[in-house]
Amino acid sequence: MSIFADKNTRLIVQGITGRDGSFHARQMLEYGTRLVAGVTPGKGGQTFTPGVPIFNTVAEAVRATEANASVIYVPPMGAAGAIFEAADAGISLIVCITEGMPVLDLTKVLPYVRERGARLIGPNCPGLITPGACKIGIIPGNICIPGRVGLVSRSGTLTYEVVHQLTRNGMGQSSCVGIGGDPLIGTNFIDCLRGFQDDAETDAIVMLGEIGGTDEQNAAAFVKEYVTKPVVGFIAGQTAPKGRRMGHAGAIISGSSGTAEEKMAAFEAAGIGVMRRPADVIALLREKM
């Protein structure tokens, strides 16, 4: 088992003929993901590789292939359009890798997706992987091994660092989900925590947060109330100066809410094991499992 995606997920790639889209489509195929089609307007009728036809629209791709998930690699100014299109075509899992989407676009996209019963992961995220079964996005498959630790994270390479530590120490993963670092995102920590809590094949949960916003505090309150599995967490940005952007638009400290201290205190109060550094994940998990 896993959350959001498994070996039965039928994936399309929006922007499959672009530089990033084509590179990562190949990586996903190599990993064993059931990539059933690609979409690039104007290139319908061509094939990406044998068995992966290209369509002009998502709706056509869905009709022909019964795809139920889409991963988006289109430039930032076209990303909102791509998400609207996927939601309209009945795709239930939409993963947007694109970095740099205007935040006002998201104020329109998010309710649209929600009203159609779809789930958006991202934007500006590395996607998700269920090791050994399905990879959607850009998380390097070779650093993961199948297992029983669920991981949810706001960042990309920090996720890889922690997964790498887990794998090196023989702790496999059920699913790893990068939810993205932008201020407005489709899937938050709580959605993933609920998924891992309900997943019979996840025994423990790692959450990697960042300064900015209050998502981690809300997640901590949710853990306290509903999560019975052991949880350990990390907050990046303990040394960040106040009020400065650290790359992610989301990593803004506003007023008194959003500092690393505040988030780590919320973790502690909820019984979440607080990692002071990425390498602490191993000892904390061993202690709690």
**1/103 with CB nearer other proteins:** 103
Interface residue with other proteins, options 154, 176, 179, 230 (CB under 8 A): 154
Active-site residue set: 248
Exposure b/e, 171-206, CB count within 10 A at least 16 = b: bebbbbbbbbbbbbbbbbbbbbbebbbebeebbbbb
**64/279 with CB nearer other proteins:** 279
Q: Which stretch binds other proteins (CB under 8 A): 3-11, 36-44, 46-54, 108-116?
A: 108-116
3-class state of residue 248 by DSSP: strand
**61/260 with CB nearer other proteins:** 260
Identify residues 246-285 at the interface with other proteins (CB under 8 A): 246-251, 255-256, 260, 276-279
Distance, CA of 271 to CA of 283 (rounded, Å) = 16
Q: Determine how many CB atoms are found less than 10 A away from the CB of residue 243.
A: 9
Q: Which stretch binds other proteins (CB under 8 A): 4-12, 82-90, 160-168, 192-200?
A: 160-168
Q: Which stretch binds other proteins (CB under 8 A): 40-48, 60-68, 82-90, 180-188?
A: 180-188
Cα four-point dihedral sign 122, 218, 150, 2: negative
Distance, CA of 281 to CA of 246 (rounded, Å) = 24
Identify residues 214-253 at the interface with other proteins (CB under 8 A): 214-215, 234, 236-241, 244-251
DSSP-H helix ranges across 32-175? 58-65, 76-88, 103-115, 157-168
Distance, CA of 250 to CA of 268 (rounded, Å) = 23
The site for other proteins (CB under 8 A) is made up of 76-77, 99-104, 106-108, 110-111, 126, 138-140, 143, 153-161, 164, 181, 183-184, 208, 210-211, 213-215, 234, 236-241, 244-251, 255-256, 260, 276-279
